[in-house]
Each structure stands twice: as structure tokens, then as C-alpha cells.
Structure 1
Amino acid sequence: MVSYILSDFTAAYGFVRANEEGHLYQEAWFVNGDDKEYYSKAYTCRPEGTIQIGQSLYYFDKNGFLVTNSQIMCANQLYEADENGVLTLIGNVGGTRWVSVNGDWYYYEDGFQVTSGFKAINGARYYFDGSGKMQTGFFEVEGKIFSRF
């Protein structure tokens, strides 16, 4: 991972990759099997998050790979990624309710996602990680082991 300051004083960070001639990828896709990465004008492949390329919005996982054929929760918005990774907004998650995304459960209270901690819901106690995903199986919190099956 690299980080540096651009000429407009904005920070750039991510991964870089060079082609066979040693030139860094810039505003280009790199494909390796099923994995696709996009290298921005700043020569970086951004780890985890959304990126606008042309008129389309894409989501990249924590390793910088394009997410396809999946639902993604980002900033209280639910998106569907098609086979090319292009995101379509499904909707704003409002109200108080459970939402299932690709088999993982998230809880919203008054339109805001519950994150990072224990939460009592209808008499049961749940733990949510920093991304808001409900933890299941065995998991560790502050050195203690918990389970939820």
C-alpha cells in the first residue's frame, strides 16, 4: 500500500501495479482470472469502497478487487452489483428493521445502521462489528469469546 499527496494537496492511497514495460497502470483495468482491479488517475487501486468510473459506480472489496453479482451495503444505502460490477441503488434503508445482504444480517434503528457493539433487540442480545454485520458463531470482543448460533 502506498500513500502520497497529489499536486492539488489531496491524499492518494492504495495499491500500485506496473505493466511488462514498467509503466504504472493509470485509469485502466487490470484483470487476473476472475479478479478485476481499477487503477485511478493517481495510479492507485483503492482498497474497499466505491469509485465512480465514467457514469458508473463500482464497489471494491478490502483487497481492491471488484465486487460482482452481489448486494452491497454502503452508507445506509443498499446496492446491487451486476455481473460487470456496476452498482444499482436498491434503496435507502429506513425505519427500524433487519436487512439481509448476501446471508449477513444488519439491523437498522430509526434509519441508522447499528454498528460496533452489543445491542438488545426484542429481548435478545446481538453483537455488531464495525461494518454493522451481526456476528454469528464464535467471536471475540475485548479478549472475551462469545457465541451466537
Structure 2
Amino acid sequence: MATGWAKVNGSWYYLNANGAMATGWLQYNDSWYYLNASGAMATGWAKVNGSWYYLNANGAMATGWLQNNGSWYYLNANGAMATGWAKVNGSWYYLNANGSMATGWVKDGDTWYYLEASGAMKASQWFKVSDKWYYVNGLGALAVNTTVDGYTVNENGEWV
């Protein structure tokens, strides 16, 4: 009786100890694989139970930062694609609704934030964008209509 991985018509399948074809999540050699309803190993993006996952070309589930088609995505320790705010290695990042990492200005609710080219949120500092100076507090929120360190910022957060 055949067991283990088998390639059939260009797709990979996993046959368990009983020889039955596996479906769903499979842990094998410290990696996770997703086998669709037909048992075929998934690669690329797969939506499973409402969450998106990325399966590498070898089928292994990715975690951490992933660059795909020119955008960066963050996949948590369980492999699920993050959206919204995520704290990674001490820095905050904003992942759009489609999971892609945001850069530049982002408005969340009524508050503006600035994300560096790396995606990391600026906090507790003055910085310059397009010849205008701005200040963000310790939570990364843009200061507006106030005075910071003796400098006035307007309703757009620009030093005036």
C-alpha cells in the first residue's frame, strides 16, 4: 500500500498511514501544508476558514514577511495573513484590507499616521515630507492644531 507524498497528473497528494488521501492541513517534517478538498497540495494564496495563507512553491506554509507581486505581506506565526495594525519586532506596521503593507500617510479613524518606506510607523519625532515638517506622538498619531516643543502645527499637522 502506498503512503506518503505522491505526484499524480502534476499535482502532489499525501497518502496517510492507511493509504487514504489526506485533505486539509497536514504537518510534515516541521512544515505545514494545505491539501484542498480533492487532496491536491495547494501553492500560492489559499483562503481557508476565512483567513488567507501563502503556500510556497514546495507547498510549505509561509510565516513572517513575504514579498509577492511587488507588495509586502505579514503572515503571523499561524501563517494567517495580517490586516490592520501589527507589531513586528518592536515596530508597528499597517496592513491594508488586502494584506499589503502600507507606506506613507495612513488614516485610521480620525487619526493620521506616517509609515516609513520600510512600513514601520514613525513615533515621537519630527520629520519632513515634501518640504513640510510634521510631528507624531509616542503612539504615532499626527499632532494637529497644537503646539509641540514650542512649535505650532496647523489642522493638517504642518509646522507653521
Give the TM-score of the pair, scaled to structure 2.
Answer: 0.46
Structure (1 or 2) with the greater strand fraction: 1
Larger-gyration structure (1/2): 2
Structure of greater relative contact order (alpha carbons < 8 Å, 6+ residues apart): 1
